[in-house]
A and B are shown apart, each in its own frame.
Chain A
Amino acid sequence: MSAPLLSVTGAVKRFGGVQALRGVDFDLKAGEVHALLGENGAGKSTLMNLLSGVYTPDEGEIRIDGKPVTFNNPREAQAAGIATIFQELDLVPSLDVAANLFLGRELMRPGGLLDVPAMRREAKKRLEAIELAIDPARLVADLSIGQRQVVAIVKALSYASRVLIMDEPTAALTVGEVERLFDIMRKLAATGVGIVYISHRLEEVPEIADRVTVMRDGRVAGVTEPNAPQSELVRLLVGRPLDELYPQRAQSAGRTLLSLKDASFRLARESAGWQPPSGISLEVRAGEIVGLAGIMGAGRTELLSALYGTGLAGRWEGGVAVDGKPVKLSSIGAARDAGIAFVTDDRRGSGLMLRMAVGLNLVMSVIRRISPAGLMSASRQADAIKQSFGQFDIRPKNPDIAVGALSGGNQQKVVLAKEILGNPRLLLLDEPTRGVDVGAKGEIYARLRQLAAQGLGILVASSEMPELIGLCDRIVVLRQGRNVAEFIGGVDEHTVLAAANGREA
């Protein structure tokens, strides 16, 4: 048997005192799609950065065709045939497709003028090679996310053609786009390209991968066949059985805190890609955690932001009641007055003041309460901060450092603690554990369950099916802004997925 296309042996990488990789072995064969799975912090990004030349390993070696290589920078990795497509596609939206494909290596006419027709011809040829009909003269800004993804692949393959590393390529794609992307990946693999496919969507793995490597805590937790049972993959990912991660469900639910009856959100102005709630009916009761499931674009985030008044301008129609009383939810002020709190899916963009201290962030939603007569009260502020640190195990235990310096999990705890300080009746959570490591996830789940037990109602939108199934008492499935199915917690994942995609289970 010949040597694998690409192999890594005993890779170790440290950042200061943190060991991100603790001796990783990994190999990729020509013509293979090799899925690399792992929670955030497991080390898969670090491994990817070693392969693409962003980092050099402290120990261990990388071989191509059995020959040892070292990459001092991404360009050297590209020269060796390794192309990487990052989650944030490195495309310039304001330029057309051809210009993006030739960015930095433009075709020129004599005299230093751009040869635009030649570039467009060549771009068309390359796009057609993978059977994609995109006009090379179109602006990238006008393409769908899926089309952009393909343009990025074509661009990457134009300068490195043996190994393709893809970081969460399906994170922002619709179901149809995912299938088209998989088609293209299979075709490329058939031509002998080796593909490293990084994802956290377990359900996609059997469909596309030939082999699966699962990472945990900077090590390879296991290498399995793609059709291994999901519970096995989860055990490898998390290091313990799934049911230990999630707390016990509630015994009973109390009065109805949020009630939507055939409620719709009329937008002041239609907006493409923003699916407003339309004819939705659901209830959240005290002590209950209700999950919102649905594919990308089903209207999960839109429902939460329309309830909290942070979405597009518009007004509610139909029955909207909080704690039994009909309310007009049209602004943040109205939502807060009704006792609603909201945690966004974008904690860095709209959840936290990254450069400000943890303590100052924690008291942000209770400034009014800790400033009697308009003057900030240092003792009340200190009490509030102490209360938050008591509720959530925020590390480090220092309210004075900038919140931006905390890990993703601790940042998320700060965002949650901040909203809890305001004593809401109803908590809206959008992707509460995005970019959060497993340990912090477990803690957040436990805390949410505790808060629910104290009478809080919680409505959670998440794209992570295991999270909804493990955490929630009930799961409401949305499609096109409407509730199409409802399941109790612990339901089989395929059943929920089928409902979300509008198929029979």
Chain B
Amino acid sequence: MKTIFRSVLLAGSCLCVAGTAYAAEPLVKACAKDGQFIIGFSQANNAEPYRQHVNDELTAAAKEVPGFTLQIADGAGNVNTQTSQVDNFITQKVDILLISPFEAAPLTPAVKRAMDAGIPVIELDRKTVGDPGKDYTAFIGGDNYKIALEAGKYTAKTLLPEGGEAAVLEGLPSSTPAVERLNGFKDGVKENAKIQVVAEQAADWVPDKAQTAFSAMLQAHPDIKVLYASNDMMAAGALLAAKGAGKQVKIIGTDGLPGPAGGIEAVAKGDWAATFTYPTGAKEAIEMSKKILLDCASSVEPTVTVDTTAITPENAKQLSGK
């Protein structure tokens, strides 16, 4: 009975927040300059290097803030697991929920439950269904479609102005970012009618499948001039395939991860033609959390799009030194 009573109260208080937003009520009532706060981060899948990169940046940014404790839960690429972890964060009553949903629609109800429980939800990199500022507090991230569109345009204008054959390595078929990046690139290269996308294959984000798939593509289409890989790892696999076939192919990666094995270094060394960073938004997310929890903000920017940077031979050396 107690629970029911409380959930009625909670529902009531939520209505209050919504109804009195204009009265500059803070998003989190318990906000305080020197309070102790727990930030729960529901990660989609720790096993991907990009996601590990996000975790590292978030951990580093959260450490800068004295009152913040960051808890990371690994959804392990499973919407059921991630849903249950979000529910656990709600049980724990974390002060802010950060989430990179593995898939949009499946995690939408869990995000709604968090909002209903009075926990602000900042979505990182991937969105759930609905509108930021209403169904969840804010979205911070890049735009998969736009980044791939940029890569397509770069191909059309800079890499293949004279036209020719291009190919695409897709991520895990039917996953949201895989579909968005595929469509973005294909729309981008449409700017140049002389470019044909002759092959597209799924390589599930991993380098070994990318190597196998691209080798086969080169057998079937020996004239491929440009390969767009939907992430850096697949670009690395494709490079091995191109070397094995003795072909000069201009390879474009996505994510632009730092470090010796990352995409920035590969462009700096001249192995790839370019890679397009997919920004983590980690700093921005912690900044926004500070605004809500420490500064008692009553509203925040609902959508923060962190722009991609094109890593090209011109800027790669300088960036890789950083």
The answer to A–B direct touch (Cβ < 8 A) is no
Chain B residues close to A by CB (< 8 Å): none
Chain A residues close to B by CB (< 8 Å): none
